[in-house]
Structure 1
């Protein structure tokens, strides 16, 4: 019999994107049979957890939040090593993940039902919320702790059992989350991590008859595949998918505020945020100054390993992601875009084995170009020049996606009109497109998402079902 510890097919090497020669860790590649075992344990544990007092559930989530904070240094180091974020970005992710558990722990003392008037004599009618049962969470590599926390905290608070499938590239911090929950007192079987290759375990993960809901964050292509996979079954689906977020800088904008804020939204986390600004729409009256400012900001960034405190932009997550981003840039150049800065992979000074892409600004971008329409998910800004407010709004809406959008203006009228007319689930005025707090409903329109929002009280709607109960208390009832 093959030893799983030495069989390459039974293990996954986690690589350091700053130097892919370095194996950060080796984790098991679970089989379909092992995932079935997770379902067995989850299905057995879920009913008892659903009957557990919300106050007790909340206390466990609060303890998990405290443990994440206590272990922040260790978790941050693994997050930097497996994903490439800077120390500041990774530390912020750990803190925000803890905030999710604290926030949903607080719901333990909130109402979870209501009384309704009933026209029938002697009848008392109530509406109750109940957990769904076993839910599967499929999360991406770009926010490998925040996204599992965003999904699992409300799922557990509502009384469900969770099976988490983290991205193959970044499984380590998901295991930290599982350990924190277990150490906080979460009963066995209620939070399991399915570490493995999607090609080997996705069928079992999505086809099990005990699956009540699946929440997915990732590409639109995969999200649509999941939607089709569970169609026709009584399985609830939430999908947070791709984005091509745009920010408009109007002629009356405060450029001292707009330029660095937009640039940070483009290049933060090496552009690997679902809410990162990818398209910059700028009024012709200020276009030259804005472009020069973006170029200068890109040039000021210090690209390097996330573990170096001096680094302000780390690598992309993998060689494959690096290749895809550079392909987008080359296609844009072939279609007539101009590279104002960047557009290449650094190969000297220790960068040759890393997954780096220099911060890039593309100008002369037209709406018919692929770079204007396709999600890039890297440190690339596509700049399009327009004339006036109406053209700016039209350009922002010129996308099948609708996750986040922003505008910079000193006009209160334009601010409100932009918010009303733009087709995006998140709208920022004089603010970056990323950065939405845990209590703010989050989700996109169009090809960016599904009707169910994440975060805030809205998230609990996805993880609960509603039961209406009418009880006649008179008329001979005993």
Structure 2
């Protein structure tokens, strides 16, 4: 299989460096599938300088013209959807359907924020001084550093780039080393749509090599990050003394509660979709399932049957429903988490192993663990793989306490026919996203998104709320005469 060589974008030019980062297909990691330029610190410094120049142009560009660029980028993403989805499947392992959905949603982000260009960006306010008219307005913050993960290599950059660019900022994007080609396809669409030179640069290369140059630049106004808590906290501390605003979308340990009056089949379908979709590699995946005691065993049997029916295999195969994990390291981490859970007393109801049919890939079979207690690591720590744990609870009171028994607070769901129980659940769980009779995952582009506690910073992503992070407020008073 030939290895595709891609260029990266800096200062409006597509460049190579002669040094490469290899990208592997997690369905078969024996040979690389693509390679991207490995930038040096000097390349990153030049990218930031170009971004500063690009910002001066872009902030003066009419918001309506910015919107035209974003609309055109959305159209190009849809036009090129098949190729981009294939890249997502190749480097990340998503199924064809998951990859296609990701590209479509990325296009939705650019359309949505392009549409906001015609919305008000400030307000008149009363002034106690005679003959004085006062207003406040929102304006872009400047150059934004966006650091994105491997699990959603098109959606997450789009979620950050669309509002940042719509507001008039420039962006230096650092995609994950495992999945950089998807971000380059996204950058190509924006470049071809007419984005001015320098407004977007893509810093490809190993994080360990680029981090000093990425973090040291004095021109950074804001940092938006999606990824692990460990890296997020390191970034937060790095910028704390520099008056650089920080947005973090971090970990989750999301719970779904199934009450005795629930539609058990519908609840099991939702847990399968949210727990094993994308092979469990998303921040909103259901990983803890709390089932009212009287229906626990019946629900466990239904869930086991549905999960066992999932077709595991390479994402490029049409019948696949659960693809590989992104890398050998991620596969080994998930297997280690399962082994530790068993060592601590959990029982394997389903899976816990690797499929023999794919010896050269990063696969773990869909896994259900029972007998899990709050003292186990698998109850506390984010596994980020196709692993769901079951725990019986006595009633809604215990379920709410169990949901909140976590350092995280991203997403939670409840299945019930009792409207009062549903509203109480929504009121009392400490999560940024709450679902009733639907999955913990699947939030749309116009819906504010983000978690509480260790799941993230106060700044929400998505919807109109996202624009708050990428803008600052200026108040202007004008005295007449």
**Shorter-chain-normalised TM-score: which range?**
over 0.9
User: Which of 435, 443, 453 is the aligned partner of 1:428?
Assistant: 435
Q: CA deviation at 1:10?
A: 2.8
Candidates 127, 141, 148, aligned match of 2:150: 141
1:460 corresponds in structure 2 to 467
Answering whether residue 105 of structure 2 is matched by residue 99 of structure 1, we say no
Match of 1:199 in 2: 208
Tell me, yes or no, if structure 1 residue 251 matches structure 2 residue 239: no
CA distance in 1, matches of 2:76, 2:255: 37
CA distance in 2, matches of 1:259, 1:43: 50
Partner in structure 2 of residue 384 of structure 1: 391
Partner of residue 48, structure 2: 39
**Residue in structure 1 matched with residue 323 of structure 2 by the alignment:** 314
Cα deviation for residue 22 of structure 1 reads: 3.0
Aligned mates of 2:478, 2:376 — CA distance in 1: 62
For the 8 Å contact 2:95–2:321, the answer to whether it is kept is yes
* Aligned position for 1:216: 225
Aligned-partner SS, 1:248 = strand
Note the C-alpha offset of 1:204. Answer: 1.1
Instruction: State the alpha-carbon separation in 2 of the partners of residues 27 and 63 from structure 1.
Output: 25
What are the residue-to-residue correspondences of 1:202-351 with 2, within 5 Å? 202-346=211-355, 348-349=356-357, 351=358
CA RMSD of aligned residues (A): 1.4
Distance in structure 2 (CA, Å) of the matches to 1:297 and 1:398: 28
> Could you tell me how far 1:47 is from its partner in structure 2?
1.5
Q: For 1:102 and 1:96, how far apart are their aligned partners in 2?
A: 10
d(CA) in 2 for partners of 1:407, 1:33: 51
Matched-pair contact (CA < 8 Å) for 2:224–2:247? yes
Residue 241 of structure 2 aligns to a residue in which SS?
Answer: coil
Deviation at 1:247, TM superposition (A): 0.5
Give the SS at the match of 1:231.
helix
Gaps of 5+ in 1: none
Q: Which runs of 5+ in 2 are unaligned?
A: 1-6, 8-15
Pairwise CA distance, 1:290 = 1.0
CA distance in 1, matches of 2:275, 2:299: 14
SS of 1:115's equivalent?
A: strand
Shift of the alpha carbon at 1:210?
Answer: 0.2
Post-superposition, which runs of at least 4 consecutive aligned residues in structure 1 deviate over 3 A? none
| Distance apart, 1:23 and its partner CA | 1.2
- 2:242 alignment partner, SS class: coil
2:455 matches 1:448: yes
1:183 aligns with 2:192: yes
**TM-score, structure 2 as length reference:** 0.96
Specify the alignment match of 2:167 in structure 1: 158
Distance 1:9 1:243, change over 3 A: farther
**In the TM superposition, what is the alpha-carbon distance from 1:9 to its structure 2 partner?**
9.8
Asked if structure 2 preserves the Cα contact closer than 8 Å seen for 1:207 and 1:230, the reply is: no
- Give the corresponding residue for 2:22: 13
Distance 1:36 1:138 in 2: 16
How far apart are 1:8 and its partner, in Å? 12
CA contact (8 A) 2:226 2:248 kept: yes
Q: In the TM superposition, what is the alpha-carbon distance from 1:434 to its structure 2 partner? A: 0.4
How far off its partner does 1:262 sit?
1.3
Q: TM-score, normalised by structure 1?
A: 0.97
> SS in structure 2 opposite 1:85?
coil
Whole-angstrom distance in 2 between the partners of 1:14 and 1:201: 17
Measure the CA separation in 1 of the matches of 2:287 and 2:244. Answer: 33
Larger mean Cα displacement after TM superposition, 79-88 or 45-54:
45-54
Deviation at 1:165, TM superposition (A): 0.3
- Correspondence for 2:90: 81
